[in-house]
Structure 1
Amino acid sequence: MKESVIYQDVFQKGERTGEQKEKEPVRFCLRLLNQLFAEIDSEIVERVKVLPVEKL
């Protein structure tokens, strides 16, 4: 079953959805920071991207 094309397609779509949901808190925080501080230094953006959700 795992070798079937349909299974692989569904599995890949699920992975992409999970990745998108994982990035949502980061995007939200970066939008807030942009609103509060106008332009954010790229170093800070990179540091925010690697923070765990609990820290965000």
Structure 2
Amino acid sequence: MAWFREGMMRESVIYQEILEEGEQKGEQRGRLEGEQRERTLVLRLLARKVGELSSNIREQLQTLSLEQLENLGEALLDFTSVSDLENWLAQN
């Protein structure tokens, strides 16, 4: 009997809407966490590649879109100094 009520509940429109909303929130949270981890990794790689980053540069990096961040992740492999990073930021 309990499985019957549970089955009916799962088929209800309200249940489906709540489930979908929960899934969407979970996906959004996952994307945000993934983006933050990527941002943290790029910051660590930059610091290792060109040295300590100024607070001004760190602020600029926080405003980059995900696409820009991914592009920077590739570009930083060719950086040899913080001026390479500054030039990249000025152009992007």
TM-score normalised by structure 1 residue count: 0.65
Give the match's secondary structure for 2:33.
helix
Matches within 5 A, 1:1-56: 4-35=17-48, 37-38=51-52, 40-51=53-64, 52=68, 53-56=70-73
Q: Which one has the largest radius of gyration?
A: 2
Where is the helix percentage greater, Structure 1 or Structure 2? 2
Whichever residue aligns with residue 55 of structure 1, its letter is L
CA shift for structure 1 position 35 = 4.3
Q: Which runs of 5+ in 1 are unaligned?
A: none
- CA RMSD of the aligned region, Å? 2.4
TM-score normalised by structure 2 residue count: 0.46
**Alignment deviations for residues 10-50 of structure 1 (CA, whole Å, 9 cap, x no partner):** 11000110112222221102123344534x32111111223
- Identity in percent: 18
User: Distance in 2 between the 1:19 and 1:25 partners?
Assistant: 10
Number of aligned residue pairs: give it: 55
Q: Which runs of 5+ in 2 are unaligned?
A: 1-12, 74-92
